Amino acid sequence: MTTQITSARPAAGPRKGTRRRPPASSATTVGRPGFAWALPAALFFALFAIVPLIMVAVLSFMSWDGISPPRFTGTDNWSRLMDDPVMLKSIWLTLLLTALGVLLQTPLSIVLGVWAAGHQRNRAVLSVIYFIPLLLSATAVSVLWRALLDPNFGIPADAAWLFGDGNLFGEQATAIGVLAFVSTWQFTPFHTLIYQGAARAIPQVLYQAAEIDGAGRYRQFFHITLPQLRNAMITAMILMIVGGLTTFETVLILTQGGPGTDTTISAYYMYDKAFKGFDYGTGSAIALALVVASTIISLIVVRVSGYDKMRGSAEGVS
């Protein structure tokens, strides 16, 4: 009996130990797709992700300007990056922007998502309007905001009491603020969608029970809705963090890493080195560091949050 149960739910089984192959004749494996189904995707992934990644790793130990043949220079690129103040600054800026993104977008998208999951009047229409920023490309969004924030003819000109002389892109603090704002403006709708789906999946019986017990709307939100959104929150946060670490277009178009190097985040620094400075070796090293960092951070989030052994949130309800 026990074997049958484990083979029915292999994902919940112990991670360590011998890998058990479910008996081919077992009734539980019927309908489980074979490995062959994953093959095309795996091939594509290997061709367009793994192979380039390996090439980037090799290139990070070379000096190459794109014209002359690449030369092996050992760990030169890496040791230079370690001492590069701009690199250190870019890491700090990347983390700061990522953190700002998570802090701004999470509460906003939870509130909007839970609201959008309800049945209020006009909800559907307003939800569609809120969703529009996500439909625009990041490039279009950035060009749009750069024009809207022109100090002499944009919003700052009409709201001098708030923006002062409007030099938003000329100072580090305000430039970072603009970057965080624009990403929030664009990506909140996406996370709202995640939370909306998750909020819809919360069993209504929980709210009915709470109502009988006399819990008000706010108590219901904090004691039922929020805890039930835990898994969605982890998913959204991982997406935000990975997205934040690899933000690029907004910086490229809004600030070009400036003023000076004040908004040069790591992904932009990679572009700057590789494609503007024609130093593909150093660019590759930064790229690889970003891949490693993103993977580690995602793994940490997964571990700490218990995402890897995520339980269905409806467990124990039915």
Partner 1 sequence: MKTRARLPRLVATGATLALALSLSACGDGDGGASGDDGKIHVLVYGDATNKVEKQLVDTFNKTSDVKVVLDTIPGADYQQKLQTIINTPQAPDVFFNWGGGSIKPFVKAGLLLPLDDLIKKNPDLENKFLPSVFNNAVVDGKPYGVPMRGTQPVLLFHNKKVLDEAGVEPPKTWDELLDAVGKLKDEGVTPIALGGGDVWPTQMWFQYLYDRIAGPELFQKALGGDKSAWESPDSKKALGMIRELVDTGAFGKNYDSVKYTNGGSVQLVAAGKAGFELMGSWYYSQQLTDHQEFAEKDLGYTAFPAVEGGKGDPADVAGNTNNYYSVMKKTKHPEAVAEFLKLMYSDEFVKAQLEIGNLPTTTNTDEFIETSGTPEYSRFQYDLVADAPSFQLSWDQAYPQKASSDMHKAVQQFFNGQLDTDGFIKAMQALPTE
Using the contact rule CB under 8 A, the part of the chain among 32-40, 187-195, 238-246, 283-291 near partner 1 is 32-40
Give min distance, CB of 103 to partner 1, in A.
25
Nearer to partner 1 by C-beta: 256 or 298? 256
| By CB under 8 A, residue 151 contacts partner 1 | yes
For partner 1, which residue of 33, 85, 216, 316 counts as binding (CB under 8 A)?
33
Nearer to partner 1 by C-beta: 72 or 278? 278
| By CB under 8 A, residue 276 contacts partner 1 | yes
> Which residue in 251, 245, 247 sits closest to 296, CA to CA?
245
Using the contact rule CB under 8 A, the part of the chain among 5-13, 50-58, 112-120, 269-277 near partner 1 is 269-277
Q: How many angstroms separate the Cα of 131 from the Cα of each of 84, 107, 112, 139, 168?
A: 41, 17, 11, 17, 27
| By CB under 8 A, residue 43 contacts partner 1 | yes
> Which residue in 150, 159, 136, 140 sits closest to 178, CA to CA?
150
3-state secondary structure of 63: strand
Using the contact rule CB under 8 A, the part of the chain among 196-204, 220-228, 257-265, 301-309 near partner 1 is 257-265
Q: Dmax over Cα atoms in the chain, in whole Å?
A: 76
Nearer to partner 1 by C-beta: 5 or 43? 43
Nearer to partner 1 by C-beta: 48 or 222? 48
Give min distance, CB of 18 to partner 1, in A.
23
Give min distance, CB of 198 to partner 1, in A.
34
Q: Phi/psi of residue 72, each to 5°?
A: -75, 130
Nearer to partner 1 by C-beta: 40 or 312? 40
- Distance separating alpha carbons of residues 94 and 237, to the nearest angstrom: 16
For partner 1, which residue of 17, 19, 21, 40 counts as binding (CB under 8 A)?
40
The structure tokens listed for 48 are 């367009």
Size of the site for partner 1 (CB under 8 A): 39
Element (H, E) at 39: helix 39-45
The shares of helix, strand and coil residues in the chain, as percent rounded to the nearest 5, are 70, 0, 30
Nearer to partner 1 by C-beta: 189 or 281? 281
- Distance separating alpha carbons of residues 313 and 112, to the nearest angstrom: 21
Give the chain's length. 318
Interaction pattern, residues 63-92, with partner 1; x per rule: CB under 8 A: --xxxx------------------------
Interaction pattern, residues 162-181, with partner 1; x per rule: CB under 8 A: ---xxxxxx-----------
For partner 1, which residue of 1, 36, 125, 212 counts as binding (CB under 8 A)?
36
For partner 1, which residue of 14, 260, 312, 316 counts as binding (CB under 8 A)?
260
For residue 85, the number of C-alpha atoms closer than 13 Å in the C-beta half-sphere is: 3
Strands 62-63 and 71-72 come out as: antiparallel
Q: Report yes or no: 86 and 282 within 8 Å, Cβ to Cβ.
A: no
Handedness of CA 275, 280, 286, 291 (dihedral sign): positive
3-state secondary structure of 47: helix
| By CB under 8 A, residue 158 contacts partner 1 | no
Query: Which positions lie near partner 1, rule CB under 8 A?
Result: 33-37, 39-40, 43-44, 47, 65-68, 143, 146-147, 149-153, 165-170, 256, 258-261, 272, 275-279
